[in-house]
Amino acid sequence: MASGSAMSKVSCGRDLDCVPEVTDTVAAVAKYGFDFLCMPIFHPRFKREAGLEPVKSRPGAKTRSDLLLSAREWNTLTVGKLSPWIDVDSELTTVRINSEEAMVQELNYCAYLSLPAFMIPLTTPHYANMARVLLSHIQTGHHLTTFWIRVPLMDPEDMLDDIVENAPTSSASSDEEKTWHWWNNFRTLCDYNKRVCLAVEIGSDVPSDVVIEKWLGEPIKAAILPTSIFLTNKKGFPVLSKAHQRVIIRMFKLDVQFIFTGTSQHSERDFRVYLQYLEYLNQSRPSPNAYDMFSKGYEDYLQSPLQPLMDNLEAQTYEVFEKDPVKYAQYQEAVYRCLLDRVPEDQKDTNVQVLMVLGAGRGPLVHASLKAAKQADRKLRVYAVEKNTSAVITLENIVFEEWGDQVTVVSCDMREWKAPEKADIIVSELLGSFGDNELSPECLDGAQHLLKEDGVSIPSAYTSFLAPLSSSKLYNEVRACRERDKHPECHFETPYVVRLHNFQQMAPAQPCFTFTHPNTDMDNNRYNCLRFSAVSSTVIHGFAGYFEATLYKDVMLSIRPETHSPGMFSWFPILFPLKQPLPVNRGQHVSVRFWRCNNGRKVWYEWAVTEPICCPIHNPAGRSYTIGL
């Protein structure tokens, strides 16, 4: 099946409960513009009493032949559906056993047809046996089918309560979360198997924004749109309410496929008008910003954090970072303001400021500093200090071709350099996704001897931030990173840089560790306990890390969602995973303790949840992950 992407055509399917002639129906739905057909693979009225005679021995085929469609058509144009009469969790033993055999039969036939997806409805909170049957099928087969668990956003019974006078109701929030609990328990029983995904059914009522946020953190592959939820505009065309539109538009970002179910409510119109309206909503979205364009293809992709102090970066890595226009514009502004503050107008021709770029790379900060000096009409003498001998070659070439005597290149570790003079300003870009995780504190503390007593460091301070998040997608990505020759829990005790995409952030990020420069206290070990409040029931899979940096006075850089520097893409957030998913109820508090440890040779983080339950400390003594000094 085609998968929609940003601003491309939306992938849509047609859901039918009964398909007498499969060949003609597939052709018909394609004619109306649908990309695939969603249908039962057994006739809904053909109940198999598999364990009972004489039905058990009845001759003849149990369903239609696979020869009606080509293998490619089954594999790309068809999504199967479990027969609605199957009840594997029935309290009646005969019904349960018969349903189990029928479900296994349908799952096996689905695998035989190589269907891309098979839809299983979840309509009650009782489904443990269904989960067992499905998981057994996944574990014992070699097929690649994805299983779409069809769950309504809201329980239909709760929506009926709204129109029944004096009907007993519980609180709105608990009603809204009811079907999410069905899904959460089902996927937990299936051990978060990555082939068990969601197909959410959007009803006439839409839950609150908090609950929608939670659903959007789940692995939604399809959204089912009943035609009954569409309204009619003045021209007689189908439209959706503003609330429904907001939900649909947010699902576009997750490349969700849409399935239309029900008969046309606009009989005088072709069914194409529903697809055209959905495509109109898709094309009406704002164009992706620079951050979205840069990160395309990296969504929820785990990357190991850089260790530029221990490893020399490659040219292509430098090139990626140098493409960020926002970061270097902010650095230029910071140097510009600093020069104006340090050099009065009447001294601009005689006062030459010494500026050292520590970790110069291929020179972008040198360029920004020289531009700032020209903008401020101030004189500058620049030292470009870089330990990467290959990058030094680039710097020396730029000195020869462009900078001249104004810049001196120093091939040395900043902590070991014996400078001929002290600096008025030191400029560095040693920040990682968590602020200090690329050892900026240790580097700048080690180079502080280069700075005059009244000297300025750019950046002057930075703070890391943490927020709990829910994402079964990321949990499965981390779980897949296990390596045989390492500690069995190593992959859950390692932070990852990741473009967060399919996730829910449980609460606003809180400040964790702060570092300032110049620094009077050279102890960079840190400890903090953060406490968050859950606004809805959820499952925590880890913590997202961000940072804010003060370059100079009010010139800032930030990747914290609330204050993110517009258009800046040099840093993705960092993820600190949890070994076990942590269920949290609405109103509960979550406490996490974070340590930053330094033993003189390496730096590492340790973290542990202590509320609502105590969890093991992750990465004790840096057994799984360290940052080399």
Active site residue 438: yes
E strand residue ranges, 432-509? 451-458, 461-470, 496-497, 504-505
Active site residue 386: no
Rounded to whole angstroms, what are the CA distances from 576 to 328, 434, 608? 28, 10, 10
Residues 39 and 245: their CA atoms lie apart, in Å, by 26
Write phi, then psi, for 163 (nearest 5 degrees).
Answer: -110, 0
CB-neighbour burial class of residue 359 (10 A; exposed 0-12, middle 13-18, buried 19+): buried
How many CB atoms neighbour CB 525 within 10 A?
Answer: 11
Residue 496 · residue 422 · CB < 8 Å: no
Q: Please state the three-class secondary structure of 201-264 as a single string.
A: ECCCCCCCHHHHHHHHCCCEEEEEEEHHHCEECCCCCEECCHHHHHHHHHHHCCCCEEEEECCC
Catalytic residue among 176, 177, 213, 429: 429
Residue among 386, 416, 439, 433 at smallest CA distance from 626: 439
Q: Strand pairing partners for 260?
A: 14, 225
Catalytic residue among 101, 177, 218, 438: 438
Residue bearing tokens 């930030």:
558
Residues 367 and 384: their CA atoms lie apart, in Å, by 11
Residue 543 · residue 464 · CB < 8 Å: no
DSSP letter at 301 equals -
Residues 471 and 582: their CA atoms lie apart, in Å, by 11
Residue 375 · residue 336 · CB < 8 Å: yes
Residue bearing tokens 């003609």:
24
Residues 310 and 122: their CA atoms lie apart, in Å, by 51
Helix 128-140 vs helix 172-189: angle between axes, to the nearest 10 degrees?
Answer: 30
Residues 77 and 82: their CA atoms lie apart, in Å, by 17
DSSP letter at 508 equals -
What's the residue count for the chain?
Answer: 629
Report the Cα–Cα distance between both ends of the chain, in Å, rounded.
49
Residue 234 · residue 256 · CB < 8 Å: no
Please report, as a single letter, which amino acid is at residue 293.
M
Q: 99: part of which helix (H) or strand (E)?
A: helix 93-113
DSSP letter at 487 equals -
Q: What is the CA radius of gyration of the chain?
A: 30
Residue among 533, 536, 556, 534 at smallest CA distance from 546: 556
Residue 500 · residue 439 · CB < 8 Å: no
Residues 47 and 5: their CA atoms lie apart, in Å, by 40
Catalytically active residues are 429, 438
